[in-house]
Homo-oligomer: A and B are copies of this chain.
Amino acid sequence: MSRRRITLSDIAAGCGVSRATVSLVLRGSPLVAKSTRERVEAELKKQGYVYNRAAANLRRRTSSSVALVINDLSNPFFAEFAAGVDEALGAAGYVTLLGSTNESTERQQKVLASLMEHDPAGIILSPAEHSDGDRLMPVVGTRTPMLVFNRELPHAHWDFLVLDNRRGAQLATEHLLERGHRRIAFFGGHADSSSCRERRQGYAQAMRAAGIEVEPQWLVESAPTRLEAAAQTAALFVRDPAPTAAVCYNDAVALGLSLGLTARGRRPGHDFALTGFDDIPEAAASLPPLTTLSTGPRARGRQAAERILMRASQPDLEPMRMVAPVTLNVRASSGPERVA
């Protein structure tokens, strides 16, 4: 029921030793005699002592936290990523300082500034759309290592961890080509986002390699949401001959397209093949199950955490650009083995 915090001094007083000794016991130093150690440990338990890491960090000039700033927590992809980060940080004895920005660069500035005041050992940033490296620079400073996830920023001397978007889209396209499709669309996404651009590049590259010229009406934009995508379905069929397959920007878009196709009387996986990107949980459970690219967001989170901790302990490491592989997960939405 006591309101006051129990400190080292309370323990020391409680069993007639000095604060210094208690501190040594806490840290398991071999210097203290077995008998005193036991006495002190009993007292710690008895008084319900809890360590004050902030005070310790102050004295030792260390930090035991890492800031994690996420643009969109309600997106399962980022939520999984966050879970992975927290998992790895926790295992290393660090604590996660969370900040969510809801895709607002204003909030992002504020959140970062606020987190910096807690002196994190490092920052993992999944940037809001239209983030500007030049504005990030002054608030992050040069003392704190930062890893940027999922988006490229023009600025250097930060770590980057990005998905292999180009290669992923290429794999999906090759898969559809393999299945006999020639008129393949790239559907969804905002053409000005870096991830959409990269995926389109992979798509274009695969098409070129197959000797197929991409027609302009095969490139359809849409916001990366199910509803928007469903609404854009018609754009695929404005001109004959229409595409018989589509590489979609992501799973949400693919599921939306799937809905749109059904509404138009086409059966996805039968008379139209499509692929997604992300492998969200519903991808496997939808009808038809979605062929898509797994990105392993949780593993990416762990990877980010491990890297930032490494950089925090070795500040002179060179910044690094890491490209995470993606793997194609073939399911029914891309159709049967081989169509005409």
Contacts and interface: CB of A to CB of B under 8 A. Distances in A.
A90 B315 CA distance: 29
A221 interface: no
B57 A54 contact: yes
Given A53-B117, A117-B51, A5 B285 contact: no
A251 B230 CA distance: 21
A188 interface: no
A68 interface: yes
Contacts of A287: 259, 262
A227 interface: yes
Contact of A118 (B53, B73, B102): B53
A152 interface: no
A193 interface: no
A29 interface: no
Given A141-B50, A142-B1, A74 B73 contact: no
A226 interface: yes
Nearest to A116: B50
Contacts of A58: 52, 54-55, 58
Nearest to A77: B74
B96 A65 contact: no
Contacts of A115: 95
B65 A118 contact: yes
B48 A141 contact: yes
A82 to B, nearest CB: 6
A282 B96 CA distance: 29
Nearest to A87: B100
A-B pairs, top 3 by smallest CB distance, nearest first, are A79-B79, A98-B98, A73-B83
28 contacts: A3-B143, A3-B315, A5-B119, A48-B138, A50-B116, A52-B117, A53-B118, A54-B57, A58-B58, A65-B97, A65-B118, A68-B98, A73-B80, A74-B79, A74-B80, A76-B79, A82-B98, A83-B102, A87-B102, A90-B111, A95-B98, A95-B99, A226-B282, A227-B285, A256-B285, A259-B285, A259-B287, A282-B282
